[in-house]
Homo-oligomer: A and B are copies of this chain.
């Protein structure tokens, strides 16, 4: 059973088939192929944004760092949640891509930045030449806490940012999960709410490795192309990125995949909430479940070979067996109801007498 991350899941069959089908004969390289043109058109259609510039890269870190480098000058700071991927999981990519720009973490419950905190941080930043300046706001949706920002919540934060002249980036590695949850349109959750640049994830939700950068304002499109190239993120056999994204957006595959993952997380969440000695840490609004249970249950799960992470990192595996530890469980499109049931059974069930097992 794998609940470690959505990126440990497989690609959707439709995506794999599209890649194989793209391998026919010769094609112009570096994005001049027909499939890339079709992807651009499709994303403009999906987002009701006929002017948007669209670029494909293969990783979420690349998408985020390229976007922020276009929005935030070297002497400025990106406002983000302390748990944001750009803050925790990209080994300083923003600073590297944006020439030494910094991050300013803004707290907020359940992975969402609090409007008043953003307000205060904007007021306190860039008051003179001595400190770093206001650069960009980066929102993660769905958040790293498995929750979502509604269009209204995005609009509120983006409005505060715009007021201060600060552009808005959205890390949408799990944007599909947010849209699927909210039932809104992609446009409502992005540019209509004030987002300038979106990192639209594919990898975690059924692709092999593809993300789209969507610049709703194409003014910085050429800059982004140059940044992508010199960062080594312009693929020569670009058709294989395009094929993934095309299949992903064909029909509503991307939303169907996200729906499946969200549904499994909801089932998991409800079952956990019903257990007498477990509790949710965050509300479950997308495809991740954050919950706590006694340490002895963790030992039992690990002994049974279940893959997931204690969250936050660094919790002690040793200690009282009744003390709660917190964990993250991530579902992906391929997670089955049987796996969820099996997991819940294990979690509920009489703990086997297990040797205390240590390890990540």
Residues of A within 8 A of B (CB): 2, 4-5, 7-11, 13, 16, 19-20, 23-30, 57-66, 73-77, 88-93, 95-96, 98-103, 123-124, 127, 129-133, 203-204, 208-209, 223, 225-227, 229-237, 240, 307, 313-314, 334
Contact = CB atoms under 8 A, between A and B. Distances in A.
A225 B62 CA distance: 15
Q: What are the 4 tightest A-B residue pairs by CB atom distance, in nearest-first order?
A: A62-B232, A95-B100, A61-B232, A7-B236
Contacts of A313: 124, 127
B74 A19 contact: no
B10 A90 contact: no
A30 to B, nearest CB: 8
B91 A130 contact: yes
A13 B96 CA distance: 38
Nearest to A312: B124
A24 B10 contact: yes
B75 A227 contact: yes
Contacts of A27: 8
Contacts of A203: 236-237
B59 A226 contact: no
B226 A91 contact: yes
Contact of A233 (B59, B74, B223, B334): B59
A131 B99 CA distance: 18
How many copies the complex holds: the figure is 4
Contact of A133 (B63, B226, B232, B307): B226
Best-surrounded residue of A28, A92, A93 (most CB of chain B within 10 A): A92
A165 B318 CA distance: 26
Contacts of A75: 91-92, 96, 226-227, 229-230
Contacts of A63: 232
- If over half of A's interface residues share one DSSP class (helix, strand or loop), that class is named, otherwise mixed; here it is loop
A88 B131 contact: yes
Contacts of A98: 100
Contact of A237 (B24, B101, B209): B209
A93 B129 CA distance: 12
29 contacts: A4-B28, A4-B29, A7-B30, A7-B237, A8-B27, A10-B24, A13-B23, A58-B209, A61-B231, A62-B232, A73-B226, A74-B95, A74-B96, A75-B226, A88-B130, A88-B131, A90-B229, A91-B226, A92-B100, A95-B95, A96-B231, A100-B230, A123-B314, A129-B225, A130-B229, A133-B226, A208-B237, A231-B231, A233-B233
B102 A103 contact: yes
A132 B89 CA distance: 8
A30 B91 CA distance: 14
Contact of A230 (B4, B29, B90): B90
A20 B16 contact: yes
A88 B30 CA distance: 15
Q: Most chain-B Cβ atoms within 10 A of its Cβ — which of A20, A91, A102, A314?
A: A91
Contact of A25 (B10, B19, B89): B10
Given A130-B229, A235-B58, A236-B7, A92 B65 contact: no
Contacts of A58: 58, 209, 235
Given A10-B23, A209-B236, A237-B7, A101 B92 contact: yes
Which one of A27, A88, A99, A124 has the highest number of Cβ atoms from chain B below 10 Å of its Cβ?
A: A99
Contacts of A61: 229-232, 234
